[in-house]
Amino acid sequence: MTVTNKSDLKIKTGYISCVGRPNVGKSTLINKLTGTKISAVSPKPQTTRRNVIGVKFEEDLRAQLIFIDTPGIHKPKNEFGEEMVKQAIESIKYSNIVYHLIDSSEGIVGEDIDVAENLRSIISENKLSISIFCLLTKIDLIKKEKLLPMMEEVGKWNLYQEVIPISALKGIGLDDLIKTTIKYLKEEEISEVITSPVQPFKLIVQEIIMEKIYNQIHMEVPYCTAVDIEEITERENGVLYIKGTIYVEKPNQKKIVIGKDGAKIKQIGTLAREELELITGKKVFLDLWVKVKEDWRKNIHFVKKIYFLK
């Protein structure tokens, strides 16, 4: 974390939560806005498993934006799913602004309406005073004539202060999004300016390994995996040693993650190591193991230990 000390500095600052159903582009957006890889990105839903925090400091606009990437709001099937949804809902309660992301390339679906109604209920029940933006994402994938009807539809919900079409991947609409967001934030006097992501390195490592698992292994296996980072040590030769365990729920899933002659786990490890070396600027020795822990997603103590305990 990079911190710049300032005395009696007045800037606009606040927390912005990104919520929505799974796979609408929340992680891609925050990674793009912060300019740093803080969240795993995959075409598969539910890649983000906890609230992830990133910071964007706009020196020219005198603003510090603290973004919270949340797990997709969905109907949970187990204890793990319930904890993910709780994380997303909890982030709303201490936010100044909420971005509700809707994938414009898929159109407005029932789950988007459910998220909107959940937002309305949370705000009402907790008597929150927050601004809500509707972000229509992935507009590079649709024809322009389809966009206006969607904007008009969400406008009828009487929930959003702003409706902004964007493409995080192409960078479309992001400047307008930042400037509009800053208009809604209050000026505060602060003593420190944070100019880089605030996630512990351990969590960044976990996110990167999970991303490689999601992108390299097909079917339902990635949803049954958990990554625990057990050790991060810089050795005398300057090499960063990282030991991690990938947990699965069944022996046959372990075989899939390891692959024939260890090819799949080697591929996952190589891709993760290369990205970690790029981030850290150091040589990395990534020591990955695969173990079976039956029905870990139903084990609330294990779930909290791996993903939700600070």
For residue 300, what is the domain's CATH number?
3.30.300.20
150 and 267 housed in the same domain = no
Has residue 192 got a pLDDT over 70?
Answer: no
What is the pLDDT confidence band of residue 217, given thresholds at 50, 70 and 90? Answer: confident
Q: At what angle do helices 174-183 and 26-34 cross, to 10 degrees?
A: 80
Whether the CB-CB separation of 132 and 96 falls below 8 Å is answered with no
- In this predicted structure, which of 78-87, 105-114, 213-222, 246-255 has the lowest mean pLDDT? 78-87
Q: How confident is the model at residue 7 (pLDDT cuts 50, 70, 90)?
A: very low
- Single out the residue in 176, 194, 212 at which a domain terminates: 194
- Residue 137 pLDDT > 60: yes
Burial, 196: exposed, middle or buried (Cβ in 10 Å; 0-12, 13-18, 19+)? middle
Instruction: Find the CATH number of the domain harbouring 63.
Output: 3.40.50.300
Q: Same domain, yes or no, for 242 and 117? A: no
Q: Which of 22, 77, 30, 16 is nearest to 47 (CA)?
A: 22
Give the predicted TM-score (pTM) of the model: 0.66
Express as a percent the part of the chain with pLDDT over 90: 40
Average pLDDT, the chain: 82
Average pLDDT over residues 163-182: 94
Residue 288 has a pLDDT of 95
State whether 155 and 221 are in the same domain. Answer: no
Q: Are residues 35 and 168 in the same domain?
A: yes
Alpha-carbon separation of residue 127 from 15, 115, 124, 188, 249 (angstroms): 17, 18, 5, 23, 41
**Res 95 pLDDT > 90:** no
- Give the pLDDT confidence score for residue 141 in this predicted structure: 93
Instruction: Give residue 279's pLDDT.
Output: 81
The residue among 144, 168, 194 that closes a domain is 194
Q: Do 83 and 146 share a domain, yes or no? A: yes
pLDDT band at 72 (very low <50, low <70, confident <90, very high): low
Is residue 140 domain-shared with residue 234, that is, in the same domain? no
pLDDT score of 102 more than 60: yes
Domain hosting residue 275, numbered range? 201-308
Could you give the count of Cα atoms lying within 13 Å of 244 in the half-sphere of its Cβ? 28
DSSP annotation string for the chain: --EEEEEEEEEEEEEEEEE-STTSSHHHHHHHHHTS--S---SSS----S-EEEEEEETTTTEEEEEEE-PPP---SSHHHHHHHHHHHHHHHT-SEEEEEEEGGG---HHHHHHHHHHHHHHHHTT---EEEEEEE-GGGS-HHHHHHHHHHHHTTS--SEEEE-BTTTTBTHHHHHHHHHHTSPEEEEEEEE-S--S-HHHHHHHHHHHHHHHH--TTGGGG-EEEEEEEEE-TTS-EEEEEEEEESSHHHHHHHH-GGGHHHHHHHHHHHHHHHHHHSS-EEEEEEEEE-TTGGG-HHHHIIIII--
Name the strands in the sheet holding 226-234, side by side, starting at the edge strand that comes first in the sequence: 226-234, 240-248, 284-292
What is the tally of structural domains in the chain?
A: 2
pLDDT tens-digit series, residues 11-39? 888 889 888 887 888 888 988 888 776 65
* pLDDT at 47 (0 to 100): 47
**Shared-domain flag, residues 145 and 253:** no
Same-domain check for residues 268 and 157: no
Domain boundary residue, one of 145, 162, 194 = 194
Structure tokens at 160: 């959003």
- The mean pLDDT value for 218-223 works out to 74
Same domain assignment for residues 66 and 107: yes
Q: What is the pLDDT of residue 100?
A: 95
208 with 39: CB under 8 angstroms?
Answer: no
For 229, how many CA atoms within 13 A lie in the half-sphere containing its CB? 18
Average pLDDT over residues 123-147: 92
State whether 78 and 186 are in the same domain: yes
Residues 34 and 182 in one domain: yes
- Rounded to an integer, the average pLDDT of 283-296 is 93
pLDDT of the residue at 1: 40
300 lies in the same domain as 158? no
* Residue 97 pLDDT > 80: yes
